[in-house]
């Protein structure tokens, strides 16, 4: 029996050969020591691509804007007349412009609209939404916005127009610290969006390929084999029968069986839940309640209420601070009162009942 020298014991170096997960450090895009600091949104086209292409992302952001503005708004008679005469690019309404700007600020991080006033009276005449990729934010060294510059979408360096801060309605999403711009809602969700769509694409490809059958042919001639390959592919493409000379045993066929659906559907469902958590919008407000009970769906909406109330409050304050118009956006009906009312009526689920304290005792 061979002896083993225990002094030759060694171990692996996993700490150096396997990289631990880490987050890339980032810095705030704050104003510098120079006289002016610029911010240009160069990621707009990328984020717009996600919004236009990913249906669940588009639906969720649209639903958030609709959830905020769907009940309309109240204001005094004078302001209502002013706001009802706003037409944007010609067929807009004040509400559709706000909806547009909420969606845009979630996608881009910032949204902008030109404020057009009567030169003599200062009365608001119109609001014209602007593309976020064409608007430059300019701040002084104190981090305060001193102007906006509208740049050409064709890449011209010189600004087409400049605007004073009071000439632009600016909605900013999730600005933190002393950053001079907002943050796109897509930025933190991009990884899970990609992961989910990769999983769905893989599963779709596997299901599609599984409809193809493998045929074994005892043939060494490359020319005849190439002809048969071409004819077989053409028959599959057209959904036609392929007639082969010979006996059935000469052309054995094998089916491609796809893997168990749960192998792919499980991760896809996980990514979907993760996506809505990262986005901060409950799936239930889009109508996705198949996997929820009535009670859990209501709880999701109730828990979400502070989020959209905050959005409403910020929007009301932006309109007051930047347009000088006071409006009150009507909130969606709260389910809290409804849940409390149902709970009080269902005595079996409220507190301890007398029988609960003696359940299980012998007589």
pLDDT value, residue 357: 44
pLDDT digits (tens, 9 = 90+) for 200-227: 888 888 777 666 666 677 777 888 888 8
Structure tokens at 133: 């990729």
CA distances from 12 to 6, 9, 17, 19, 168 (A): 16, 11, 9, 14, 61
**pLDDT given for residue 363 in this prediction:** 45
**Is the CB of residue 170 less than 8 Å from the CB of residue 62?**
no
Q: What's the Cα-to-Cα distance from 289 to each of 231, 250, 306, 338, rounded to whole Å?
A: 48, 53, 21, 18
Q: What is the pTM of this model?
A: 0.76
DSSP state of 30: B
Which segments in the chain show pLDDT lower than 70?
Answer: 1-8, 11-22, 153-157, 209-215, 241-244, 246, 248, 250-251, 253-256, 287-297, 336-363
pLDDT digits (tens, 9 = 90+) for 257-293: 777 778 778 888 888 888 888 888 888 777 655 566 6
Q: What is the pLDDT of residues 93-114, one digit of tens each?
A: 999 999 999 999 999 999 999 9
Q: What is the pLDDT of residue 4?
A: 66
Q: What's the distance, CA 309 to chain centroid?
A: 19
Q: How far apart are CA 254 and CA 236, in angstroms?
A: 15
How high is the pLDDT of residue 345? 56
Pairwise CA distance, residues 77 & 206, whole Å: 61
Tokens encoding 180: 């001079």
Q: What is the pLDDT of residue 184?
A: 96
- Domain ranges in the chain are 28-184+282-349, 191-261
Rounded Cα distance between 221 and 224, Å, is: 6
Nearest by Cα to 257 from 217, 215, 212: 212
Do 210 and 258 contact (CB within 8 A), yes or no?
yes
């Amino acid at each position: 029996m061979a002896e083993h020298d225990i002094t030759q014991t060694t171990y692996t170096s996993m700490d150096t050969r396997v990289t631990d997960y880490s987050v890339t450090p980032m810095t705030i895009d704050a104003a510098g020591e120079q006289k002016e600091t610029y911010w240009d949104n160069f990621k707009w086209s990328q984020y717009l691509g996600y919004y236009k292409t990913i249906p669940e992302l588009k639906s969720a952001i649209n639903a958030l804007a609709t959830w905020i503005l769907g009940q309309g708004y109240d204001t005094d008679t004078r302001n209502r007349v002013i706001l009802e005469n706003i037409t944007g690019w010609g067929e807009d309404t004040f509400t559709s412009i706000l909806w547009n700007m909420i969606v845009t600020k979630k996608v881009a991080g910032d949204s902008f609209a030109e404020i057009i006033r009567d030169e003599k009276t200062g009365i608001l005449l119109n609001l014209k939404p602007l593309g976020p990729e064409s608007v430059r934010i300019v701040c002084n060294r104190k981090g305060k916005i001193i102007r906006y510059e509208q740049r050409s979408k064709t890449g011209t360096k010189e600004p087409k127009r400049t605007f004073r801060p009071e000439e632009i309605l600016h909605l900013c999403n999730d600005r933190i610290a002393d950053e001079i711009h907002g943050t796109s809602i897509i930025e933190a969700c991009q990884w899970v969006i990609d992961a989910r769509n990769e999983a769905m694409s893989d599963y779709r490809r596997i299901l599609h390929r599984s409809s193809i059958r493998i045929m074994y042919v005892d043939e060494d001639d490359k020319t005849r084999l190439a002809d048969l390959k071409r004819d077989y592919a053409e028959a599959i493409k057209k959904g036609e029968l392929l007639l082969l000379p010979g006996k059935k045993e000469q052309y054995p066929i094998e089916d491609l069986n796809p893997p168990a659906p749960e192998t792919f559907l499980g991760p896809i469902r996980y990514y979907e839940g993760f996506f809505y958590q990262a986005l901060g919008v409950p799936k239930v407000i889009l109508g996705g309640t198949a996997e929820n009970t009535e009670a859990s769906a209501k709880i999701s909406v109730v828990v979400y209420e502070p989020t959209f109330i905050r959005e409403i409050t910020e929007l009301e304050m932006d309109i007051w601070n930047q347009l000088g118009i006071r409006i009150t956006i009507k909130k969606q009906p709260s389910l809290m009162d409804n849940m409390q009312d149902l709970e009080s009526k269902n005595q079996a689920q409220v507190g301890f009942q007398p029988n609960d304290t003696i359940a299980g005792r012998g007589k």
